[in-house]
Amino acid sequence: MEADFVIVGAGSAGCAMAYRLGEAGASIIVIEEGGSDIGPFIQMPGALSYPMNMPLYDWGLSSEPEPHLGNRRLATPRGRVIGGSSSINGMVYVRGHARDFDHWADQGAQGWSYADVLPYFRRMEHSHGAHSDYRGTDGPLHITRGPRSNPLFDAFIEAGRQAGYPVTDDYNGAAQEGFGPMEATIWKGRRWSAANAYLRPAMARGNVTLVRGLARRVVIAEGRATGVEVARRGGVEVISARREVVLAASSINSPKLLMLSGIGPANHLAEHGLPVIADRPGVGANLQDHLEVYMQFASRQPITLYKYWNLIGKGMIGAQWLFTKTGLGASNQFEACGFIRSRAGVDYPDIQYHFLPIAVRYDGKAAAEGHGFQAHVGPMRSPSRGEVRLRSADPAAPPMIRFNYMSTDQDWQDFRACIRLTREVFGQAAMAPFVKHEIQPGPGHETDAEIDAFIRDHAESAYHPCGTARMGRRDDPMAVVDPECRVIGVDGLRLADSSIFPRITNGNLNGPSIMVGEKAADHILGRSPLAPLNLPPVVAEDWQTAQR
């Protein structure tokens, strides 16, 4: 088997690249270990808590014991299915802040400033909720907004306004800062994953082929990647690339695959008896993520989704969705959000809110108190850094993942601010008809020490790992790929997924991961990038002296 390009991973970036490379007339083989995404657990937005907890769709990874979080092992779901993590995520669509991408460029990712990436966000989007020069209207990725029919959504946004924050009509447009409607990759009541948006249309053209199998290593001959060794159908075979091999296997599995192929920190590779083809100490380093806690409140009124949290209620929602693709099952229920700054002197938001009209965990366990609601809140730019390392030279073995969460004083300061600022928002008049009392953290969590204890016991990953093969200048010893996504030290090999982020973006990572795939495709094809678009972001004028 051979093709012009072999892509490892049918996830957010991989699907986008397959679509654009195939559109240009090249032949593509996409290698994906996971199986079909057909079925209501993935396609029904309201069922989002199921696929990320199902071994059928998830790699089932977890961190090593985290020393600053009571040695807890935190779940690290990654999609093992067509569409990758875009098939098991919460479907929240956030591009990131303009300053995030300007920071990338400052760190050596030349050509990836906000002006450079904005045309790619526009190319990929079909925005149905917001329309402005910042937004795209004819791309493959449909972006919609929920109906916000539950009064709690608008009450949350109004509480933010009453607390002194801006209201933003489009956090993916000019102004991210503020409270407003949340956007989602949902279209006609279905999860609009990268598989639905990109891979299926690409395969329908006839020059993109999907191959199921576990990528074991990149085959490198005389310093050039020539194919990928794959375990499938009980044997091992090589799928050859006439032009290039492209890794898009996630920020956990892409660095693992590089190391298994002899590209990574020389000492670590030697520990596992692997030949060193390129000594790149940055492979697996710079691991970042978003942590969050669920601030939960009991409801005075029986208007939350708790009334459907039983077999009959879930059955009714599921039946309505199956037959009409409408109703509560057609929304991810993340329909209102907020982006704020933690303190004066922070120039753009570093705290994100997802509001949900039920008090429930990601794994689907509801709060014991019945009717309630919650805000997921956490800092956006933690200074903590972790790493991904090989557990063994066996390609089937899961890697060792150490996030090193909450390892700096700044992490704790920022997280305390999250909790105190959230309490202030929920204390506004707009929430008074709905807030009965705080469930979690609850009374007895007022001092720094008490809040820290709560964080230590309850902080969870928002499932946004990135940065483990960061992009930078070719002479930067810790860079893994150059600004054209070429792996430094090996010819014919590129990497394009959230691994290459120099620093984590503000918000959920599906949007920027797809953008990386879109832009990388132009680099792979040798095209001139889309012309920069100089539309400045709105930034609070008094950010140096005021928190809001």
- Does 81 belong to an annotated binding site? yes
Distance CA 218, CA 8 (A): 10
Q: Please identify which residue in the block is written with the tokens 């310093």.
A: 223
- Does 91 belong to an annotated binding site? yes
**Alpha helix stretches (DSSP H) within 272-401:** 311-324
Active site residue 464: yes
- Is residue 297 within 8 Å of residue 419, measured between CB atoms? no
- Is residue 374 within 8 Å of residue 334, measured between CB atoms? no
- Is residue 332 within 8 Å of residue 45, measured between CB atoms? yes
Distance CA 168, CA 449 (A): 34
List strand residue ranges (DSSP E) for 312-367, in order: 336-340, 351-356
Residue 224: how many other CB atoms lie within 10 Å: 14
- Does 136 belong to an annotated binding site? no
- For residue 420, the Cα-to-chain-centroid distance in whole angstroms is 26
Catalytic one among 268, 437, 464, 523? Answer: 464
DSSP SS3 for 53 = helix
Quick check: bond before 77 cis, omega within 30?
no
| Residues 422-447: b if buried by 16+ CB within 10 A, e if exposed | beebbebebbeebbeebbbbeeebee
- Does 52 belong to an annotated binding site? no
Q: What angle do CA 338, 340, 343 make, to 5 degrees?
A: 160
- Does 92 belong to an annotated binding site? yes
**Alpha helix stretches (DSSP H) within 299-426:** 311-324, 409-426
Burial of 227 from C-beta contacts in 10 A (0-12 / 13-18 / 19+): buried
Distances (CA, A) of 241 to 3, 151, 229, 238, 377: 5, 54, 11, 10, 44
Extract the annotated binding site. 81, 89-92
Where is the binding site for FAD, in residues? 81, 89-92
Residues designated as active site: 464
